[in-house]
Structure 1
Amino acid sequence: MELTQAAVNDLLARLGPGGSCMYLPGDLDPKELAGLLADRYGTPHTLVLDGFADPTVDDSRGAALLVPFEDRAVTIRAWAYGDQWVGTGTARDTEGTERAVLAIARREVPEPPDAAPDEGGDVDWLERLGRITGWTLPDQRPDMDWAETESRLGTALPSDYKRMVETFGEGAFDGFLDLNQEPWTDLREDRLLVWAGTEHEDLYCWKPDGGDPDRWPVVVRSFDGEDVAFDCRAAEFVCRILVDPHHPFTMARYFDTHWFMNYGRRD
């Protein structure tokens, strides 16, 4: 079977939006299928390897994908995508033959908390962002050398941004808002540092006014070159655009369930 992204679309459509699975044709390469899924969903995490299930796997990490295979799964890798888990790999069929498989399961994510417009400065926006995205994985980049990065950039960086990078690593919120692993300096002549960007070519920046990076306002450089300032920090800004449908740069109109697509997670 020739695998293309269009063929993958057809397979997923046959499974439908609910929980289901299928054994795939014998000439299909499961590694090639996993590669195509990684191209669209990011780096997977492993549920089963060489017949041994990860003992930490629970409902928050895609355990529902394993239910149809009982104890016959050989290798299963999974992706979180909106309100679904997508999984692929190999499993033994009822006759004991190892075959490529594809599965979808419902992903239950807690109802996102609102953006807390009336709360004061004591809100832990990183903790709130974790709840909004259903993030349960360990910190992805806990060993970041921020001293070296800040020395090279010639400035300290906001603490909430550094926690975001350490927590989520390289990837995108809702597969749409890319989190830079260090700020871009392309707009330095405009006195802006870029910490994130979207497929719509909006750039999320700081205006580094004053000596305290934790007080830098967020500035959005839109695709048409307009700058729009917001009196908040980066993590708060991300929380608000994810869940507030009235925010001028909202993502809530496009995504009901929020997640973080990781591009380089270590298994």
Structure 2
Amino acid sequence: MDNAAHLKVIEDLLARPVPGEVAGRENAKEAQGYQLVDLATGELDAVVAAVRSRFGPARTVALDGFTDPSLRRLPGPPLADILADRAVEMYGWSVGQRWLGVGLFKGVGGTGPFLTAVAAPAPASRTGAAAPSSAAELAALTGWQGPRRPVDWESAERKLGLRLPGDYRLLVETFGAGTFDDNFDLCAPGSRYLDLDLITADPTEFLGSAPSSRPAIKLLRWAMTSAEHSFCWLVEDPDPDEWPVFASRDNGEPWKRFDCSSTEFVHRMLTDPQHPYSLARHFEFHWFTPAEQAEGAW
């Protein structure tokens, strides 16, 4: 099955009546408020890319078997419970009256996983699977009340030869270079601590190790951890607000892709105990320390 065929199956799935509006349902899955279709053969990355081109950016809702608990805020069926223990890797969109998930899903009895599309009622109040996080939410979460950190973005982007994501610009203007929970280090253009200067980070350092069938890719690191994890943007789209986050340890472990903004990625690290890079499992409260105040500054 090629990507065009996958999209046709998914569009047919989305065209079905919302399960809650169907009378006399016979399908047990539909009776619980969700529907599944098998996408047969295909590569997950290619199918997700095709769906993304049709419906826009996706949100990572399950990775390595861990499901985003914020899905419990969705109306309709208990989607987090539906995906729990069955979704191995899944990405989500909101399309009209539907929440759409595409990914690897275990069958009954733990068989598979299989390339699967899942549809369920979508939130009525917004177009995304869940509200994106903002710099203001991170400031409230960490109790940060520092002064605004102005940046010469025109100069920074000229030196990089790239436009930078809008949410990242607001994140840096809110916090500046520094560390969350003394573990997660945020880079900023022009930081006097060279390890945290986004401009001096060499994107070619990471070339060739990220999963991609394309002959040339570019990764730009914007954050790191004390455990030698690197967090980069995959510079794959002319619109920087569409860049996904790629994460890996510097020891060469496989890269993980997160289709979300930098700010949302940080927020989920701090609040989601199931996140692969969670700090919520270690700290009940969260804080931010600017680089100039950190002990043993970079």
Q: Which residue of 2 aligns with 1:109?
A: none
Counterpart secondary structure, 2:138: helix
Match of residue 173, structure 2, among 163, 166, 170: 166
Q: CA deviation at 1:216?
A: 0.2
2:152 corresponds to 1:132:
no
Following superposition, the deviation at residue 203 of structure 1 comes to: 0.3
C-alpha displacement at 1:116, in angstroms? Answer: 4.5
Q: CA deviation at 1:163?
A: 1.1
Write the distance in 2 (CA, Å) between the matches of 1:188 and 1:250: 23
Question: For the residues of structure 1 that align with 2:236 and 2:69, how far apart are their CA atoms?
Answer: 25
1:189 corresponds to:
207
Q: State the partner residue of 2:279.
A: 251
Structure 2 letter corresponding to 1:189: L
Q: Is 1:204 aligned to residue 231 of structure 2? A: yes
Describe how 1:26-45 pairs up with structure 2 within 5 A: none
* 1:136 Cα offset (Å): 2.1
Residue 178 of structure 1: SS of its match in structure 2?
strand
In the TM superposition, residue 221 of structure 1 has moved relative to its aligned partner by 2.0
Shift of 1:223: 3.2
Q: Secondary structure at the match of 2:256?
A: strand
Identity across aligned pairs (percent)?
41
**Inter-partner Cα distance in structure 2 for 1:116 and 1:122:** 9
- 1:198-237 residue CA offsets vs partner (Å, 9 max, x unmatched): 0000001000111000010000022332210001010000
Give how far 1:131 is off.
1.6
| Aligned twin of 2:289 | 261
**Equivalent residue letter for 1:245:** P
Question: SS of the counterpart of 2:207?
Answer: helix
SS of 1:247 mapped into structure 2: coil
- Alpha carbons 2:202, 2:220 under 8 Å: kept: yes
Partner SS, residue 246 of structure 1: coil
* C-alpha contact 1:115 1:240 (8 A) present in aligned 2: no
Q: 1:214 aligns with which of 218, 237, 241?
A: 241
Aligned match of 2:116: none
Structure 2 matches for 1:229-248, cutoff 5 A? 229-248=257-276
Is 1:146 aligned with 2:173? Answer: no
1:45-84 CA distances to partner (integer Å, 9 max, x unpaired)?
xxxxxxxxxxxxxxxxxxxxxxxxxxxxxxxxxxxxxxxx
In structure 2, runs of 5+ residues without a counterpart are: 1-67, 75-125, 190-197, 209-217, 294-298
**Helix, strand or coil at the partner of 1:264:** helix
Structure 2: how far apart are the matches of 1:133 and 1:219? 24
Question: Relative to structure 1, is the Cα distance of residues 246 and 124 closer, same or farther in structure 2, using a 3 angstrom cutoff?
Answer: closer
Question: Could you tell which deviates more after superposition, 213-222 or 186-195?
Answer: 186-195
Q: Counterpart of 1:241 in 2: which secondary structure?
A: helix
Q: Provide the rounded CA distance (Å) in 2 between the counterparts of 1:250 and 1:229.
A: 15
SS of 1:130 mapped into structure 2: helix
Aligned residues, how many?
A: 150
State the Cα deviation string for residues 138-162 of structure 1 (Å, max 9, x = none): 21x12x1111111111110111111
TM-score (norm 1): 0.52
Which structure ranks higher in relative contact order (CA pairs < 8 Å, sequence separation ≥ 6)?
1
Question: 1:122: Cα distance to partner?
Answer: 5.5
TM-score by length of 2: 0.47
In structure 1, what is the Cα distance between the partners aligned to 2:263 and 2:69? 11
Change (3 A) 1:171 1:115: farther
Q: Is the 8 A contact 2:135 2:171 kept in 1?
A: yes
Instruction: Confirm or deny: 8 A CA contact 1:203 1:220 kept in the other structure.
Output: yes
Deviation at 1:188, TM superposition (A): 5.7
**Which has the larger share of strand?**
1
